[in-house]
């Protein structure tokens, strides 16, 4: 069977892999953010209150966010990002959070063992951003 190799199905293995990745503190573009993401690691950009993440069957950030929003009786507006303008190549997910939502979501992610990289700087707009599509 051809493929990309074995995929971790154990949360502990996924989180261990996330620990070994270096943190991203000064991204130049959304593409650089996407390339730094892995299962068990998210990126929060404080300048526009946007959380970027990827999901895996064994560790769903979307599920954690949905549970937090369910607890505060709100609907999350999670957007699928694409690497191309034709929306064929899926990249990461993103969600813009207000201050209350941000605090609750980041605590829930930390309690779940998720590593959070943060940056207060705005992106340099010399590179084309990832293409956004409709909400999930």
Per-residue tokens: 51? 């959380």
Q: Where are the domains of the chain?
A: 25-135
- Per-residue pLDDT tens digits for 68-104: 999 999 999 999 998 888 889 888 999 999 999 999 9
- Per-residue pLDDT tens digits for 2-34: 444 444 555 555 555 545 555 555 666 777 777
* CATH number attached to the domain at 25-135: 3.40.1170
pLDDT at 65 over 70: yes
């Amino acid at each position: 069977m051809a493929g990309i190799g074995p995929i971790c199905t154990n949360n502990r293995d996924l989180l261990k892999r996330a620990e070994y990745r270096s943190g991203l503190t000064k991204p130049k573009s959304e593409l650089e953010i996407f390339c730094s993401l892995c299962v068990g690691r998210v990126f929060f950009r404080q300048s526009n209150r946007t959380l970027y993440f990827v999901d895996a069957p064994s560790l769903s950030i979307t599920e954690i966010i949905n549970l937090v929003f369910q607890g505060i009786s709100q609907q999350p507006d999670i957007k699928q990002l694409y690497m191309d303008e034709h929306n064929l190549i899926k990249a990461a997910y993103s969600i813009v959070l207000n201050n209350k939502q941000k605090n609750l979501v980041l605590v829930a992610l930390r309690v779940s063992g998720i590593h959070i990289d943060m940056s207060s700087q705005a992106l340099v707009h010399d590179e084309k951003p990832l293409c956004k599509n409709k909400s999930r």
